[in-house]
Amino acid sequence: MTVDVFLDIMTEGVQLIITVITPPLLVSLAIGLLIGIFQAVTQIHEQTLMFAPRVLAIFITLMVMGGWIFQKMIDYAKDILEKYFQMI
């Protein structure tokens, strides 16, 4: 394995991680911001009010985008295996 192939695989892996994790993180950020504004306005500072909707929103996001995430990971695995078998 040459250094160029290794760096290419690592770069693609980091880009894949960033691409796959961005949608759930953005949903979590948006829900947290909305709940934070709600808590500031109503003076209700209940910890479960922040936790439960965020977990539910992330779960729904992963259900909706799960196929796309899985396909991206499979494509990356195929790419790694193809590069590995080309070197043999």
pLDDT at 83: 85
The angle that helices 3-42 and 47-87 make with each other, rounded to 10 degrees, is 170
pLDDT at 15: 96
Angle ∠(59,74,1) on CA atoms, nearest 5: 130
Q: Alpha-carbon distance 14 to 10, whole Å?
A: 6
Q: Quote the pTM value.
A: 0.79
- List pLDDT tens digits, range 38-86: 988 988 878 778 888 999 999 999 999 999 999 999 999 999 999 888 8
